């Protein structure tokens, strides 16, 4: 159709823009949750994640985790999508499991740990504690 490109251009220009983040509640064989210590955060501990590029969301999360830690994960499902602001974004929260690799520090991640629920390290934000428990079906 001759007007399709024009229509697509108008729609693109008229729509709000947002980023897409991918995050993971990743567990090991014992059911412990993978937490990473981020060097640039005031509350440094958190679940792994990053910004999606022009790629499949599951592949984006696997890539982010590998780039930051050298750990290999298998994504097992999409658990939740959340709209957030500052910046405007959609957070896609996945579940997954560790399937290989050996941890290596990166410019963004200084440490990692596998954590039992409610044995949280100092510096894990309350919102992430709640999110992890929700994704794992442990909210009271």
Confirm whether 3 is domain-assigned: no
Confirm whether 45 is domain-assigned: yes
Torsion on CA atoms 116, 134, 35, 62, rounded to nearest 10: 130
Number of domains in the chain: 1
Can you give the pLDDT at residue 1?
A: 57
Of 20, 88, 100, give the one whose Cα is nearest residue 56.
Answer: 20
Confirm whether 127 is domain-assigned: yes
User: Contact at 8 Å (CB) between 128 and 47?
Assistant: yes
Name, in order, each residue with C-beta under 8 angstroms of 133's C-beta and a sequence gap of 6 or more.
Answer: 117, 139
Which structural domain, as residue segments, surrounds residue 87? 17-135
Confirm whether 6 is domain-assigned: no
pLDDT in tens, the chain (140 residues): 567 888 888 877 888 778 999 999 999 999 999 999 999 989 999 999 999 999 999 999 999 999 999 999 999 999 999 998 888 899 999 999 999 999 999 999 999 999 999 999 999 999 999 999 999 998 76
Confirm whether 8 is domain-assigned: no
Can you give the pLDDT at residue 2?
A: 66
Confirm whether 96 is domain-assigned: yes
Of 104, 14, 16, 26, give the one whose Cα is nearest residue 66.
Answer: 104
Identify the helix (H) or strand (E) that includes residue 137: none
Looking at residue 97, which CATH number applies to its domain?
3.90.79.10
Confirm whether 68 is domain-assigned: yes
Confirm whether 87 is domain-assigned: yes
| Rounded (5°) CA angle 23-103-133 | 35
């Amino acid at each position: 159709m001759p007007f399709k490109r024009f229509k697509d251009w108008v729609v693109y220009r008229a729509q709000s823009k947002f980023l897409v983040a991918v995050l993971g509640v990743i567990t090991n064989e014992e059911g412990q949750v993978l937490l990473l210590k981020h060097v640039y955060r005031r509350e440094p501990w958190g679940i792994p994640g990053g910004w999606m590029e022009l790629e499949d969301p599951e592949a984006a999360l696997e890539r982010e985790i590998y780039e930051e830690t050298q750990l290999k994960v298998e994504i097992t499902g999409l658990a939740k999508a959340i709209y957030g602001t500052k910046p405007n974004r959609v957070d896609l929260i996945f579940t997954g499991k560790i399937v290989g690799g050996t941890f290596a520090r990166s410019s963004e991640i200084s440490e990692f740990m596998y954590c039992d629920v409610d044995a949280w390290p100092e510096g894990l934000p309350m919102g992430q504690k709640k999110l992890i428990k929700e994704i794992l079906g442990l909210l009271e």
